[in-house]
Amino acid sequence: MGTLGDRRATAEIIRRYQFDFRKKFGQNFLVDDSILDKIIEAADITRDDCVLEIGPGIGTMTQRLAEEAGRVIAVEIDRNLMPILNETLADYDNVTVINDDILKVDIPALAAQHGSKRMKVVANLPYYITTPVIMALLERNVPLQSITVMVQKEVADRMTVGPGTKDYGALSLAVQYYTKPEIITEVPADCFVPKPNVDSAVIRLTRYDAPPVSTEDERWLFMLIRASFNQRRKTLANGIANAGIGIGRHQVEETLAQMGLSATVRGEALTLEQFAELSNRLLPLRS
Ligand code: SAM
């Protein structure tokens, strides 16, 4: 069979299986070989790698991954795609397809089961779950080397920006705490069928061995960050005080002053380093 990145090959499979696209699963299949090439190149896969693909669809990228990687584990929620994947992946003996919801899969257990200490994630993500998937993958106990994914362009921007921009928030800080993010390429909507309403981008997140800032309690750092951005129109001190996490407004204001920051500063003005310092200073003050 020819490559599925070809628009006609994809249309033929869809027609032959009478496959109905399900909007609720974010099904926009990639039909552009040059974008596939860029994703595969950016993911830098070798025979030593175990790749986790989230949402293989009809197997377009899965085929390419199987040609490069030692092992591919592809998790697909839609039962109707199973017979198609059976056909399109029949020639590869290093692919395991799991019919499940990625948000319910125990990824560290999956990696261990397949004898992999560290995995690479490669995916054209279903956009409705981008943030929860990325957050779950970034958690400390998930053994990952890199995440190379197609996301909405706007989300790729949020992952890469720094303080003082409207896109900067909890996602930017989490991504930049755990990884080095790089936008690989922008992808116009007409590279997919059906065509989505938004433009997309491929982003690679390369995991740090150690985070770029030091914090005494990672969970507390992220509780503070979430609280700081919960009420974007409020000051950081009010946001934290209103979150009910055991810190009062005056404690935040005093700590900000010790750090040389204004009492009325907003979350979007603080760098990752400043959040780490704030969290370390507030930790012993928690009630
Ligand atoms: N990889 C294919 C491609 O590039 O053409 C399909 C990408 S499509 C944007 C997203 C895929 O993720 C769909 O096949 C969809 O059914 C699947 N999906 C959606 N939600 C999922 C979930 N919670 N867990 C696993 N797969 C999911």
Q: Any idea where the domains of the chain sit in the sequence?
A: 7-207, 218-285
Cα 264 to ligand 1 centre (Å): 43
Give the mean model confidence (pLDDT) for residues 14-20: 97
**Do the Cβ atoms of 82 and 99 come closer than 8 Å?**
yes
Number of residues in the chain? 287
pLDDT of residue 4: 85
246-271 confidence digits (pLDDT tens): 999 999 999 999 999 999 999 999 99
Q: State mean pLDDT over 230-243.
A: 89
Nearest residue CA, atom 17 of ligand 1? 55
- Closest ligand 1 atom to 102 CA: 24
pLDDT over 70, % of the chain: 99
Task: Give the C-alpha separation, 143 to 260, whole Å.
Answer: 38
What backbone phi and psi angles, to 5 degrees, belong to 218? -60, -40
Which pLDDT band holds residue 103 (cuts at 50, 70, 90)?
very high
Nearest residue (by CA) to ligand 1, atom 18, is 55
Residue 141 has pLDDT above 90, yes or no: no
Residue 116's pLDDT band (boundaries 50, 70, 90)? confident
Class assignment of domain 7-207?
alpha beta
Pocket of ligand 1, candidates 21, 27, 190, 199: which has the most ligand atoms within 8 Å of its Cβ, to mutate? 27
What tokens appear for 87 in the block?
């056909």
Residue 55 CA to ligand 1 center (angstroms) comes to 3
Smallest CA separation from ligand 1 atom 21, residue: 77
Q: Which DSSP category does 29 fall into?
A: E
Band of pLDDT at residue 57, cut at 50, 70 and 90: very high
Q: What confidence category does residue 139 fall into, taking pLDDT thresholds of 50, 70 and 90?
A: confident
Residue 2 has a pLDDT of: 56
Q: Is 45 exposed, middle or buried (0-12, 13-18, 19+ CB in 10 A)?
A: buried
CATH architecture of the region 218-285: Orthogonal Bundle (1.10)
Helix locations, the chain, DSSP H: 7-16, 33-43, 60-68, 82-88, 107-113, 130-138, 153-160, 170-178, 218-230, 236-242, 249-258, 272-282
* Ligand 1 pocket member 88 (CB < 6 A): no
Instruction: Indicate if the pLDDT at residue 1 is higher than 70.
Output: no
- Mean pLDDT on 47-55: 96
User: Can you give the pLDDT at residue 249?
Assistant: 95
| Residue 157: count of CB within 10 angstroms of its CB | 18
Q: Which of 227, 223, 178, 185 is nearest to 205 (CA)?
A: 178
Q: Mean pLDDT, to the nearest integer, of 155-176?
A: 95
pTM over 0.85: yes
- Calpha distance 144→120 (Å, rounded): 6
Asked if residue 61 has its Cβ within 6 Å of ligand 1, the reply is yes
Phi, psi of 49 (to 5 degrees): -95, 145
For residue 10, the ligand 1 atom closest to its alpha carbon is 5
> What pLDDT, in 10s, does the model give residues 66-102?
999 999 999 999 999 999 999 999 999 999 999 999 9
| Segment 202-212 mean pLDDT | 96
Task: Assign 163 to helix, strand or coil.
Answer: coil
